Amino acid sequence: MLDMLQHARHVQLWGEQLGLGADRSRLRADLMDSDLLLTEQIAVRRRHGSLSFVLAAQLFIDEAVVSWSGAHYIYPIRARVPNVRDRSVQWVTVGYVPHVGKPVARTSAARRQASDSRNGVLQRCLEILLRRFVGASQTGVQVQLPGSPTLTAVPRLLGIVADQLGERSVLCLMGNACEFFCSHCMVRRGVAGGPQGVGAEVRDVTAVLDAQVEGAITRDRDPRPSLRNALRSGYSALAFVPAVAAVWGLATDNKRLYDIISFDLLHVWKLGVVRMVAQRFPSFLRAACAGRDARLGPTTGTLEVLNLRAWEMGHLFVPSPTPPGYVTSLGVALVWCMQSCSCP
Amino acid sequence: MSAKHGRRNRLVPPEGFVELHLRSNATVHWCHSAVAHSPENRSAAGVHAAAASYALAPSRDSAGECGAQADLPELGGLGVVRVPTDGYMRGSLAVPRQRSVFQTSTAARIRAYYEAMPEASQTHRLVPPSVGKRPSLFNTPLLREALKFALSAGGAGLSQADQMSYVSVLLMAERGARASRLQSPHRAHQLGSSRALAGRSSDEEDGEIARTFPTKTSFVTAVRAEQRRVLSKLC
């Protein structure tokens, strides 16, 4: 990462807000002006001094991108440094994780063993990958950039681009069919989506991680599944420890562990989720804007703007095997669309 | 005052007084050793034994366990000393209060959990760090493009045999371009005059690729070295 930073032609060390737009709404372009980075930047500069900056990193993990290494089926972990503003450098493959397939035997013990292997391999690969990153995130690293004094780069993990299955795997949470299926809050499955689900308490990072550490230590000694019931019933969590939580800032300070997940929108689009949402968007707008116009005009006008934005995205909707440089721009555009369509 | 009323000097703890934070140890020690103590050897046991002879009961459990021995006058001396129930309240005497002892941060615990695993110590670098400090041979735009094509053509890059074929094509193209320059009379005159002036050898007039990679195998070796050089920086 430091090599990428030092050899980049365009580097942005500190993030800042872009200000307000013509309609008095806050402009956002990418991660360098996001709330996530700005709050981390405040914490980093308070801890490491004014000559420190957040060396942001994003990881991309998608188990669907499987390739054959000659010995194993593997899927890549890619990294990106948003501080580097060169258009040529985007995502770099920094590691591969072996794919653990389904068990041959159709027994619960075999399924549990395969599941444990899958989760353990992923977390240990992440830990080995992030080992030096974790140490640097706590102490910072001295960087000498041309034409500037010696600075302290403090690495922070500010994004994990994955689908929902990948998100639950990285965070060591149970799958989508569990009771607490939301990574951000503790809403129960039975009341989610209804008025009773509104205002559910936020998932406590420290409590869940402490329980997972205890559960993992217990599982290392005794793998019986009955010993994991407390984790399952209390948090819908697995008896594994998310290795990314060792990075400073995710379980300490601002505790943004559950805020750094960014869904791979193209992956979600391929699954049909966004398409289903888009089909229902006109009905939603007619109900939400009844009697009033949306910010960009009536419902029909807003829909025209949406279609225009989709047309401007153009080829970004087309699936391709290229590295996911589209994620940021597509996400920003979609967020802009959603903001522009909200009622004043 | 100290000489005449030694027992009333409040700056000096009374004889046999035990600090609160030492009382649990003293109680345990006393519980284990009270049976062995006797009035005869108490004087020889010193201050610590005398201090331990008090029945100190900072908690109900210790009091219950040692309550029977605490009633023994020959071991108690001044009698039973108990900590009042409000002894740990804020604003009371400056005795050590119960403290909340925090463990380290959750992030540090997770880091320690994974570093305690065997693979954390068994893993080793695939490429030593010194390889990453060597300068790259692919230091011009042409060479970088050649490297990029060799590593990315067809998705997975060229095989070693294909790399040799690829660099042979590049070398042939360079030689062809040089021959065409020499055949051009105006250009040949310029080259001849400049060579005479500068005294440069014919090797210096080779192309970039021929200068950097004189043989086909040297290109393949350099590509592998470049992969190792980059790989050493990833760990």
pLDDT digits 0-9 by tens, B26-67: 555 544 444 444 444 444 444 343 333 333 334 444 444 444
Cα gap A155→A132, rounded to integer Å: 10
pLDDT of residue A119: 92
Note whether A124 contacts B117, CB cutoff 8 Å.
Answer: yes
Q: Are residues A306 and A251 in the same domain?
A: no
Q: Are residues B140 and B229 in the same domain?
A: yes
Residue B200 placed within a domain? yes
Q: Are residues A119 and A256 in the same domain?
A: yes
Residue at a domain's end among B61, B76, B91: B76
pLDDT of residue B24: 59
pLDDT of residue B79: 45
Residue B110 placed within a domain? no
Cα gap A114→A108, rounded to integer Å: 10
A294 to chain B, closest Cα gap in Å: 45
Q: How many CA atoms lie within 13 A of A12 on its CB side?
A: 16
Q: Which domain holds residue A160?
A: 1-171+242-263
Q: Are residues B61 and B138 in the same domain?
A: no
Residue at a domain's end among A207, A231, A263: A263
Residue at a domain's end among B76, B97, B119: B76
pLDDT of residue B127: 85
Residue B96 placed within a domain? no
> In a mutagenesis test of the A interface, which of B103, B105, B114, B126 is the best target, namely the one with the most A β-carbons within 10 Å?
B114
Closest-CA residue of chain A to B235: A129
Number of domains comprising chain A: 3
DSSP character string of A27-81: P--SGGGSHHHHHHHHHHHHHH-TTEEEEEEEEEE-TT--EE-SSSEEEEEEEE-
Q: Are residues A56 and A158 in the same domain?
A: yes
Paired with A77 in beta bridges are: A61, A95
pLDDT of residue A70: 72
Q: The whole model's pTM is what?
A: 0.60
Q: Are residues A164 and A50 in the same domain?
A: yes
User: Mean pLDDT score of chain B, rounded to an integer?
Assistant: 68
A57 to chain B, closest Cα gap in Å: 14
Q: Are residues A30 and A99 in the same domain?
A: yes
Tens-digit pLDDT profile for residues A138-196: 999 998 888 888 889 999 999 998 888 888 899 999 987 788 988 888 988 888 877 88
**What residues of A are in contact with residue B106 (Cβ under 8 Å)?**
205-206, 209-210, 213, 245, 251-252
**What residues of B are in contact with residue A123 (Cβ under 8 Å)?**
114
Q: Are residues B141 and B210 in the same domain?
A: yes
Q: Are residues A4 and A139 in the same domain?
A: yes
Q: Are residues A18 and A107 in the same domain?
A: yes
Q: Are residues A191 and A313 in the same domain?
A: no
Residue B24 placed within a domain? yes
pLDDT of residue A87: 72
Number of domains comprising chain B: 2
Q: Which domain holds residue B184?
A: 129-234
DSSP-based three-state secondary structure for A91: coil
pLDDT of residue B57: 37
Residue B180 placed within a domain? yes
ipTM value, please give it: 0.75
Mean pLDDT for B136-153 is 90
Our CA dihedral for B173, B177, B179, B181, rounded to 10 degrees, sits at 180
Q: Are residues B165 and B227 in the same domain?
A: yes
Note whether B110 contacts A242, CB cutoff 8 Å.
Answer: yes
Residue at a domain's end among A229, A263, A297: A263
**What residues of B are in contact with residue A3 (Cβ under 8 Å)?**
233
Residue B171 placed within a domain? yes
Residue B21 placed within a domain? yes
Q: Are residues A99 and A155 in the same domain?
A: yes
Residue at a domain's end among B76, B94, B119: B76
Residue B91 placed within a domain? no
Q: Are residues A80 and A27 in the same domain?
A: yes
pLDDT of residue B110: 92
Note whether B119 contacts A124, CB cutoff 8 Å.
Answer: yes
Residues of chain A under the 50 pLDDT cut: 315, 318-344
Q: Are residues A269 and A251 in the same domain?
A: no
Q: Are residues B226 and B158 in the same domain?
A: yes
Q: Are residues A195 and A159 in the same domain?
A: no
pLDDT(B71) > 50: no
